[in-house]
Amino acid sequence: MATTRAEPEVIYEGIPASPGIAMAPVHVTARGFSAPEVYAIDESEIGREQDRFQQAIEITKRQLIELQSRLEDLSGATASSIFETHVMMIEDRAVVQRVLGTIADRLQNAECAFYAVMQNFLEAMRRIPDPYLRERTADIEDVAQRVLRNFSADSDARHTGPDDQHILVAYDLAPSDTALMNRRHVLGFATEQGSLNSHTAILARAFGVPAVVGLEGAVIDVMALAPAILDGYTGKLILHPAPDTLARYQQLAEAKARIRSSLEAVRGAATETVDGRPLMLSANIEIIDELPLVKRSGAKGIGLYRTEFLLLNGEEMPDEKRQVEIYSKLTCEMAPHTVIIRTLDAGGDKLPVEPLTDIEPNPFLGWRGIRVSLARPAMFREQIRAILRASSAGQVAVMFPMISGLSEVWRCKEMVRRCMDELEKEGVPFDRDLPVGIMIEVPAAALCADLLAPEVDFFSIGTNDLIQYTLAVDRVNPYVADLYRPTHPSVIRLIKRTIDAAIDHGIWTGVCGEMAADIRLTPLLIGLGVEELSVGPQKVPDVGQAIRSLSYAECAAMADEALRHNRSQGIFDLSLALARKHYGELLD
């Protein structure tokens, strides 16, 4: 990783969202206007780049004046004065001087320098409390985008821009941005927003892309092309790393690679504790592209297929026929293992199923999960029919999200029965014994687990939401990220209560939230009596090895003690101590 000038090392601290180390130049993308291609220049090329900038400004000015006069003809002076302001913006001497200076100082191409200067300016504007001034950012973005377009006339073929491997730094990324990211080029990403359990972070872990979120101020300060290290283990973005930092991270990356290959050797081995308690280890999946990763991971099935990711790119829910194709492919590929298909869990921080006329003040407490499906019976019916039809291709189970009480379970089961009857009449094959499970992710469901258990075949605890709703801590809000405690006594009591109710009624309980993938907490979950763990495919080898290293009796004794403990940290430490004792080398 080369750097053009010796710059001091700068470290940004954030939340480690997806483990791994990436070493590459950064590529910055701001909100609203898109990043240009970025390449380094020689000192001899400074003048040429400065001319290119002046030329782009001139072209833009001409265009704006032309637009202004056209608009004057059409609508009079008022609307056309907008463009007058735009012209003034691009002629702003301070901006022009900063861009010219940045080209010379940073030895970067003109569009990159312009982009960086405008980006800083825009971010500063966005932080202004005055709503009128904040609104003006849209105008600046518009002009800036126009200037960037006007560079392209003479763009240099020599660029080494975002097509090369880089670390992406962004203010925020939507789950769809993350899913569609070119994983060959994006070696890791860092965002100012987000938290450990946002869907963006979950996807990063699923794809094995190192990620750090909640990095305050990064977008405004980071200069494109700066050499960097992204440490997804401890949550750091290190710009202009010093030679010893670089050497340390190179060593760490090599050590991690060695552990990975030793786990490779036992991939697919049975997952039971040393004293013979079997645990089902399955994978969470969001999009079908993850299938090869799941198969390579050694997972014994899919414990959670998040079907709301079918809505990526703002697409509508696919029709029944298309859904049958997708679910059947998944089922056939995973045979003889089971695929648990969760019905649509739209809303919250996820993709909406349809645009809402009014913005929800509290989306996580609003129209989300099973509430949406029950309110849209035609769509729900299509999904259930598709799941049933796929069940003729192999082992399938259906699971309902965001259940908060018995009546919702009855309504879901009624829909399953109705669809079964329809398919039977139509002579379409399906599995009459299709297991029906529910997510336990709302505290109400955990508290009433004894009422729900007789109605279903399994429980899967969604700890991401269970923790959020129990502790009243938004799972994607970095301001309260430190209050998000998986080992809070209330959370582990709810987990225990759920498992006990399941055992009483002869059904099994799994965990498919992110807590299941945290190997520091595997001893606690096993000790509490969980029978299945479903985790992102990248985490399957680690969790498998953790299971194989632990003794159930020892975990159960520790969990008993944990249930009597009064502090999250104390409970966490109890579990961590067993993890360290049995597989310290795997811990990050």
Catalytic residues: 199, 512
Nearer to Mg ion, 286 or 441 (CB): 441
Nearer to Mg ion, 21 or 439 (CB): 439
Q: Which residues contact 10 (CB under 8 A, 6 or more apart)?
A: 221, 238, 239, 240
- Rounded CA separation 441/370 (Å): 12
Nearer to ligand PEP, 52 or 306 (CB): 306
Our finding on whether 485 is near ligand PEP (CB under 6 A) is no
Closer residue to ligand PEP, CB minimum distance, 29 or 200 = 200
Q: Which stretch binds ligand PEP (CB under 6 A): 132-140, 232-240, 424-432, 463-471?
A: 463-471
Q: CA 330 to CA 325: how far, in whole Å? A: 9
For residues 443-462, which are near Mg ion according to CB under 5 A? 462
Structure-block tokens of residue 548: 């194989």
Task: Indicate whether 462 belongs to the interface with ligand PEP (CB under 6 A).
Answer: yes
Q: Does 49 bind Mg ion (CB under 5 A)?
A: no
Is residue 198 at the binding interface for ligand PEP, with CB under 6 A as the rule? no
Which 3 state secondary structure label does DSSP give 458?
Answer: strand
CB of 447 to Mg ion, least distance (A): 17
State how far the Cα of 509 lies from the Cα of 530, in Å rounded to an integer: 6
Q: Which is nearer to ligand PEP, 26 or 202 (CB)?
A: 202
Cβ(396)–Cβ(342) below 8 Å: no
SS (H, E, C) 190-239: EECCCCCCCHHHHHHHHHCCCEEECCCCHHHHCCCCCEEEEECCCCEEEE
**Structure tokens, 110:** 């003109």
- Which range in 50-58, 180-188, 318-326, 456-464 contacts ligand PEP by CB under 6 A? 456-464
> How many Å apart are CA 326 and CA 344, to the nearest integer?
14
* 537 in Cβ contact with 294 (< 8 Å): yes
CB of 344 to ligand PEP, least distance (A): 11
**Cβ-count burial of 296 within 10 angstroms (0-12 exposed, 13-18 middle, 19+ buried)?**
middle
Q: Which stretch binds ligand PEP (CB under 6 A): 69-77, 174-182, 428-436, 461-469?
A: 461-469
Cα 276 from Cα 331, distance rounded (Å): 29
Q: Is 441 in the site for Mg ion (CB under 5 A)?
A: yes
Give the footprint of ligand PEP on residues 419-448 (CB under 6 A): 441
Burial of residue 453 (number of CB atoms within 10 Å: 0-12, 13-18, 19+): buried
Residues in 270-309 that interact with ligand PEP by CB under 6 A: 304, 306
Of the candidate residues 345, 408, 518, 532, the single one contacting ligand PEP (CB under 6 A):
345
Least distance from Mg ion to the Cβ atom of residue 367, Å: 15
d(CA 142, CA 136): 10
Stretches 82-90, 161-169, 435-443, 527-535: which one binds Mg ion (CB under 5 A)?
Answer: 435-443
Q: Nearest distance from residue 336's CB to ligand PEP, in Å? A: 24
Q: Which of 305/572 has CB closer to ligand PEP?
A: 305
Least distance to ligand PEP, CB of residue 534, Å: 8
Least distance from ligand PEP to the Cβ atom of residue 128, Å:
34
Number of residues interacting with ligand PEP: please give it, by CB under 6 A.
10
Helix orientation angle between 320-334 and 377-390, rounded to the nearest 10 degrees:
30
> Could you report how far apart the first and last alpha carbons of the chain are, in Å?
25
Residues that bind Mg ion (CB under 5 A): 441, 462, 465
Residues that bind ligand PEP (CB under 6 A): 304, 306, 345, 441, 462-465, 512-513
